[in-house]
Structure 1
């Protein structure tokens, strides 16, 4: 597929805009550096003076240099041992900001009748709050183990498995699509990192947001400038 610039900072490939939002039934969002402007794990690490160390692992994982996402996450979480819940609350309140255009895009998708799911390699502490704030329908993320009000440096297994990596993101969204009785072609996926690629390759419309080169290369829409609501420039409202 060859990319073409649809508008300044907005590339498309393999599609013929404008697409109708009404042709889709589900939109899946990544959280860190997509729905929110920061990488939450890096911000937690900053609280305990380990941001550089954790951020280096995060960047390598998002670029796809570290191919074992689960191991990279375990390494980062281990460095967070001892962080207290009140410190996590402060990170959310002081450092986690919704990305420009996030609320407008979510509202437009809801207006068009789409269901919404947040699938993140981050943590439920943050995804639960973002889900509630944006009124999203579903979410899947990783659960930090807490003892005596502090992180243990470990993750807890959940009913669906151990860690939400790229493959789990793909599986969670496709399982939900199946339960909804819709085709993967009726799903939109929005993300920025290498762990979003398996999902992007499985759905009808893939959107790379200020993304790494590998992610832009596989996405049908690449938003390289501006906010998330720029997706609405290549879609039209449901009729």
Structure 2
């Protein structure tokens, strides 16, 4: 379908999707912070994570579109209002099947939280993906021959450092030296962990899930998998300051709890 559209139309659609994603995240971040300055900082970090997603030269990358749909899905998902999130997540996997991990993680979290209907919604999207992949595999099998080149496999085992590298390539961290960019990736993950909100948990789980996939199965030429989680990564830095403050307060708290055992 993309090939049938003029180049300017495809680029315009990409910009429209990026704008919708940014607006959805603005609405969520405005609720998370009490004052405008942190919201502005968080939106600047979001823009830093989306640098690669507004480059016309990358419009043909499936991960660019899928990554924006994943970010949009995360932003619009709210307790009891999960159907738009599932729809955007389904759009992501129909563009790039590797976004299926996102659907699986969202389904698992919903199930653990006790929302069976939401879990079923995500599972339904996974079922649609499985059907689409099955039909695609059947079509490919009709044209593949024994002498065709085979895939080199997915046992890259490049480690967590490869995930860090993909994030620096995919975001504004590419403008910083690696000795600074690498700790910022870890600090961003810490920030998401520090935000006590269901959205923070989901972003952390999805980012960590793709970090694991890249570390275990990624190859040097599949760095673009990181684009699936790049848009939201740096926003975690906006929550990191409060997280560090809470850690310091907890470390300096010298109160002791005394337990008295009484035997009768």
TM-score by length of 1: 0.31
Higher Cα Rg, which structure: 2
- In terms of fraction of residues, the more strand-rich structure is 1
TM-score by length of 2: 0.29
- In terms of fraction of residues, the more helix-rich structure is 2
